[in-house]
Amino acid sequence: MYIMGKEEVEAVRRVIESKVLFRYGGGECGETDKFEREWSDKIGVKHTIAMTSGTAALICAMAGLGIGPGDEVIVPAYTFMATALAPLAVGAVPVLAEIDESLTLDPQDFERKITPRTKAVAPVDMCGLPCDMDAIMEIAGKHNILVVEDACQALGGAYRGRRLGSIGDVGAFSFNQYKIITCGEGGAMVTNSAEIYERALIQHDGGCAFREHASDIGTPFFAGLNFRINEILSAILRVQLTRLDGILSALRDEKRRMMEELASETVFSLNPINDTEGECATTLALLFESPETVRSFLEQLGKRGVSAYSPINSDRHVYSNWEPVMQKRGAHHPARDPLRLSKPPLAYSPDMCPTTLSVLERTVYLSTSPTRSDEELKNLLACVKEAAARA
């Protein structure tokens, strides 16, 4: 959580005093409806559905695209596990592809992993770093593959002038505690397709057939779930949205200064970025020649009180730690488990994406901050340079 203040408190108070916390049955045209319109305007899309989490947004995106049993969805081997769990939730299976030194999906490996069963690809803008969307969209178009943009860590980011999440067939966002703007836990799915929107709307609300908008939906109702968000969370998000551009501007300014100061260092290089103007700049990634140098560098930083880490140690963000996938437990019951029902069966192993593991274990992350003072930044950079000299 970056910035939260009295405005969010006032928004919550307003909703509680209204005594309407449910977005339906009195909450129509309220906080959630307004946030959805405002988010659509910000991202540049026709349709937004606010919901309970980024995972929910990914699941509804898959359902909206009609993905199901027998389908494969290509996901990067470096992402939060939810990207791989979402296909399983609709009966499909995740196929893991390598990342490159940009820390995002390697377009070449994406293309290598395509089979006749590939229905979609889910590029992930990890740490607010944009994927190479030109290459990904070109490959997807050539092979008639749907694109689910996982922009859960890239709220407000852009790629060549277009907001992340608006480029593919559908986009997913997360507003949990650790994102650029937050309501504690929440998400949103966006699309320009009315058909995808309607299917996702039904998936996110099992009571969709009983809402005021039911008569406007042309898609036959099916058994959905319950990922509905409430008015309190949406009220917080509306305030947070007004802060988004300012937060991004501050993060980008700080990261730009950090990159300029550290560009001449020789023990590490700066990870390549697919769009330096559009990235969210939440993280500065440093790329080393060896894992041993990474460990030495982190030890030196620790002695100076600087917090940093290697993404190889980011637990559920590294595919080899995705226990349900690695051990093929894709559902609560074997008769509903896509990983066991897949024909031919897919093989998963901890060493299946060696390039990803190599990149991650040779990378160090330094977090940026929209509130850090000039003096604090100068001290941080001095410590990084001293650690590099002794690594």
Question: Is beta strand 47-51 parallel, antiparallel or unpaired with respect to 146-150?
Answer: unpaired
pLDDT greater than 90 at residue 38: yes
Cα 225 from Cα 29, distance rounded (Å)? 22
Mean pLDDT of 289-313: 97
Residue burial 251-282, b: 16+ Cβ < 10 Å; e: rest: bbebbeebeebbeeeebbeebebbbeebbbbb
Percent of the chain with pLDDT over 70: 100
Higher pLDDT, 343 or 191: 191
Q: 262: pLDDT confidence band, cut at 50, 70 and 90?
A: very high
Instruction: Say if residue 24 is exposed, middle or buried (CB neighbours under 10 Å; 0-12, 13-18, 19+).
Output: middle
Higher pLDDT, 389 or 2: 389
Determine the topology of domain 6-240 in CATH.
Aspartate Aminotransferase; domain 2 (3.40.640)
Percent of the chain with pLDDT over 90: 97
Q: pLDDT tens-digit profile of 100-140?
A: 999 999 999 999 999 999 999 999 999 999 999 999 999 99
pLDDT greater than 90 at residue 343: no
Mean pLDDT of 367-385: 97
- Domain chopping of the chain, boundaries: 6-240
Cβ–Cβ < 8 Å for 97, 83:
no
Q: What is the reported pTM?
A: 0.97
Question: Is beta strand 268-270 parallel, antiparallel or unpaired with respect to 187-191?
Answer: unpaired
Q: 1: pLDDT confidence band, cut at 50, 70 and 90?
A: low
Cβ–Cβ < 8 Å for 73, 61:
no
Question: Which residue carries 């559920």 as its tokens?
Answer: 316
Q: pLDDT tens-digit profile of 362-373?
A: 999 999 999 999
Q: 67: pLDDT confidence band, cut at 50, 70 and 90?
A: very high
pLDDT greater than 90 at residue 44: yes
Residue 391: both structure tokens together: 């690594």
Q: pLDDT tens-digit profile of 83-99?
A: 999 999 999 999 999 99
Cα 178 from Cα 184, distance rounded (Å)? 8
Phi, psi of 3 (to 5 degrees): -135, 125
Mean pLDDT of 4-33: 93
pLDDT greater than 90 at residue 320: yes
Cα 63 from Cα 54, distance rounded (Å)? 14
Phi, psi of 150 (to 5 degrees): -90, 95
Q: pLDDT tens-digit profile of 205-216?
A: 999 999 999 999
Mean pLDDT of 275-279: 98
Comparing C-alpha atoms, which of 178, 172, 179, 187 is closest to residue 227? 187
Mean pLDDT of 246-257: 98
pLDDT greater than 90 at residue 2: no
Phi, psi of 49 (to 5 degrees): -120, 115
Mean pLDDT of 231-245: 98
Mean pLDDT of 215-235: 97
